[in-house]
Amino acid sequence: MKILVLMKQTFDTETKISLDANGKIDEAGVNFVVNPYCEFAVEEALRIKERLGAGEVTVLSVGPERAETSIRQCLAMGADKGVLVNTGGLEGGDEFTTAQIVAKAIEKVEYDIILAGFQAVDDGSAQVAPRVAELLGIPQVTVITKLELEDGKAIATREIDDGVEIIEVALPAIFTAQQGLAEPRYPSMKGIMQAKKKPMERYSLADLGLDAGLVGTDGAKVKIVELSLPTPRKGGKIVEGEPAEAAQKVVQLLRSEAKVI
C-alpha cells in the first residue's frame, strides 16, 4: 500500500506572532513545526504500514526551503520518502493556488490513499485537502477519528455535530485527520539519524510546469489586504464587598460602563 501524506509546516503554537515593518508576519525567531493535525496523519500512515507489514509512506509538502526540516521530522518518525515543492519567494498564494500546486505535484507520486491534517493551526482554513480531492477527482472524507481499510475500500469515522458519521468509501481517497485519529510518536534518535539518508525529491514550480504568476498573487482568489494583531485584552475589574452588594454594583457597571444590559 502506497500512502501519501500531505503535510504543512506551521508556526509552533507557542510562538508569539509579531508583524514586521511591511505588515507581514515576522519569521525571525519563529519556531516552525509539523502542523499538529498533519502529525496525526503521519502517525496514522505509519500505523497502517505497520499493520499491513508492508507499504511505503511518502510525505509531501509545499513551502519554502525551511519546510525540509519538517519533512525530515516525518522521516525521523518513520516515513520513507519526502517530496518538497519549493515555493520560496512565491507571494500571494491562497488555498486555491496551493491546492493546484499540490495536485500537480501528486502527479509525480504513486498512491493508494492520501492522508492530511484536517486543518493547519496557522490559518485554520481546512480547505487544501478537500480542494486537492476535487482536482484529482477522488472521494474525500474529512475530520476523521478512525480509519479501517479493507480490500479496495475504507471505512472512516468522522466527527459531526452531536455525533459521528461512519462512511464507506472506495480507494483511492483523501482522508483528513482530526485529533484522536492517532497520537503521534516521538521520532527516535535512530530515526533522526536515518532521516537524513532517506530520499527527498525536490521540485520547483517550473519543474511541475506551473507558472509562478498563476499560482501566486495573480491566480489567488483571496487577497490579503491587511494583517493586524488582536488588540491586547485589558485587565478585568474586580468588584469587592459583600456578595449581594457586589452583585448590585456589577449590574450597575454592566449597564453604565460596559453598556451591555
Alpha-carbon distance values, 93 to 13, 132, 169, 200 (Å) = 22, 15, 31, 24
Whole-number CA gyration radius for the chain = 22
Compute the distance between CA of residue 254 and CA of residue 261 in angstroms, rounded to an integer: 6
Q: Is the CB of 73 or the CB of 87 nearer to another protein?
A: 73
Q: Is the CB of 135 or the CB of 192 nearer to another protein?
A: 192
Alpha-carbon distance values, 164 to 161, 177, 249 (Å) = 8, 14, 46
Q: Is 38 in the site for another protein (CB under 8 A)?
A: no
Q: Is 233 in the site for another protein (CB under 8 A)?
A: no
Q: Is the CB of 188 or the CB of 252 nearer to another protein?
A: 188
Task: State the number of CA atoms in the 13 A half-sphere of 243 facing the CB.
Answer: 0
Strand order in the sheet with 153-160: 163-170, 153-160, 140-150, 174-177, 113-117, 2-6, 56-63, 81-86, 200-204
Per-residue binding string, another protein, 50-69, x by CB under 8 A, is: -------------------x
Q: Is 188 in the site for another protein (CB under 8 A)?
A: yes
Per-residue binding string, another protein, 158-187, x by CB under 8 A, is: ----------------------------xx
Question: Which amino acid is located at 172 in the chain?
Answer: P
Q: Is the CB of 76 or the CB of 83 nearer to another protein?
A: 76
Burial of 102 (0-12, 13-18, 19+ CB in 10 A): buried
β-partners of residue 168 are 155
List CB contacts of 167: < 8 A, sequence separation 6 or more: 141, 155, 156, 157, 158
Selected range binding another protein among 70-78, 121-129, 203-211, 215-223, rule: CB under 8 A: 70-78
Q: Is 193 in the site for another protein (CB under 8 A)?
A: yes
Selected range binding another protein among 17-25, 90-98, 191-199, 218-226, rule: CB under 8 A: 191-199
Q: Which of residues 87-146 bind another protein (CB under 8 A)?
A: none
CB of 27 to another protein, least distance (A): 16
Please answer whether residues 78 and 46 qualify as being in contact, where contact means their C-beta atoms are separated by less than 8 angstroms. yes
Q: Is the CB of 73 or the CB of 178 nearer to another protein?
A: 73
Q: Is the CB of 99 or the CB of 195 nearer to another protein?
A: 195
| Binding footprint of another protein on the chain (CB under 8 A) | 69, 72-73, 76, 186-193, 195-196
